A and B are shown apart, each in its own frame.
Chain A
């Protein structure tokens, strides 16, 4: 914010000038006030409140006693929470790497000067415009073993074909990954494609002159150039992973059993259905710590350090 000092030569000097400037900036400060209040009350206040509640014995109503880390030890002895945590790691790893690989491949193939490029782009990205509830319901219907994919393949003559992941304790979480990939791969494709279009044309000419195979150029030259796009995609996808809730609720409701429980759902259930505020807020605090540990360095480098306007 250092470029906006007004240097009108006719301005009076010294303290009058400073005071005048401050007065002119007053409306700007007032305009930012509501947001500042929200940041203070909601983003900081509510967050601290949640953390504080996790050290209490609150159940249906909040209490302000102090039980130390008791809720956290209960949390890490809780099967449902441990399943949730391992599920989100499985989902996060497969979803992010899957989106990156599929997104990159789609972008590269679309970038081959194909006919109907616009159509392909539209088809790959449209799932991203739909809600997770819609996504979950659609995939739940397609993957149900009774009338969905399994029945379809069996009716084609493959009598012993089995695809019951949706109702299989061990495999159900992977159906959530499939639905997630369908929803998010197009977004990654769009980001990567924007990156590919920014690659210098001379690079391709040079590679052609040197006789380097196209796939080598993509893996050794273009991919490193796309690093900012990959980072952007990873950040966007990561926020999606942390928020994973609606998709699970719509598709499996955490089931079969507790096979597809996720942390966000654990928190919601304990806060609003199971009347266990302290345990719910403790789980929320663990989510908070995880996210901060992963993202704080990135936000610091990207936004806080280079202050204000940049060209």
Chain B
């Protein structure tokens, strides 16, 4: 009975019920680990071993050859420079996109939660609705606009797109956080004669560290994992890692080099995985903050 009560002291001895709890959790954990396990062991096997089947087995003759091939010489269509090209493209897209979208979100959130601007709430409402609308609704006209202004298929273009479509979440995130700060702080700063920007930089921003961390986690994983924007707006020279990975895996002719595919997949998953493991609970807070607190 006490076995299933979540609060209170941890039970001393194992009962059948607790054994069942652990059996369920361990089974579930194995299911969730399975694809990662398979990716890792496959990437470390030579092709001869892969052809035998035994997808779960540890490599008998472990080799990192597939990893170096995936990084520097796997073919993405006609070019064979590996996924490293995509990695650096993703980095070049990621850094300005994350910084700019967070700045935009912070300023919007601050203006929305402390300053009474006419029509601001209507704008915010439309922006939030926009977050739920499928991207396919905006893509074609956006492509036309960018073509007309001459920045289509460039780094600027893809960064701008990430900032535009990051606005709803970032604005919501910062608005909610700032709405939770004590209003007296702002009032005191106003009485001291602070203006819009001086209050932002001297009072609000120094209190924003937690939400800046959450926003960074959200945007880094989100932008790194993006596929559709990179495919549509980045242009051949700037294709991000996700698009390159898909090209490596799904456009090979002849026998597929599964070990290289899996090594490339692991490489593409590495950045978000590191972010996830380093950030721990913050990651959950990030996903939840965008929606739960509303």
Contact = CB atoms under 8 A, between A and B. Distances in A.
A106 interface: yes
B107 interface: yes
Given A4-B186, A112-B21, A155-B54, A142 B133 contact: no
B117 A138 contact: no
A8 B196 contact: no
Contact of B195 (A24, A129, A147, A208): A24
A229 B292 CA distance: 7
Contacts of B212: none
A128 B221 CA distance: 10
B contact patch SS: helix
Interface of A: 1-6, 8, 24-25, 27-29, 31-32, 34-36, 38-39, 41-47, 49-50, 53, 62, 102, 105-106, 109-115, 120, 122-135, 137-142, 147-149, 151-152, 155, 182, 186-187, 190-191, 194, 196, 201, 204, 208, 214-215, 228-229, 232, 235-236, 239, 242-243, 245-246, 249-250, 253, 263-264, 267-268, 271-272, 277, 280-281, 283-285, 287-288, 291-292, 295-296, 299, 302-304, 307-310
5 contacts: A35-B127, A112-B21, A148-B55, A190-B284, A194-B284
Contacts of A243: 134-135, 228
B interface bracket (residues with beta carbon within 8 Å of A): 35 or more
A contact patch SS: helix
B126 interface: yes
Contact of A155 (B38, B53, B114, B120): B53
A299 B137 contact: no
Interface in B198-237: 221, 224-228, 232
Contacts, number: 322
Nearest to B126: A39
A4 B288 contact: no
Contact of B121 (A35, A253, A308): A308
A288 B134 CA distance: 7
Contacts of B284: 125, 190, 194
B133 A129 contact: no
Interface in B108-138: 108, 110-121, 123-138
Contacts of B280: 122
Contacts of A45: 141
A132 B25 contact: no
Given A1-B121, A291-B134, A250 B292 contact: no
A135 B130 CA distance: 26
B167 interface: yes
B227 A242 contact: no
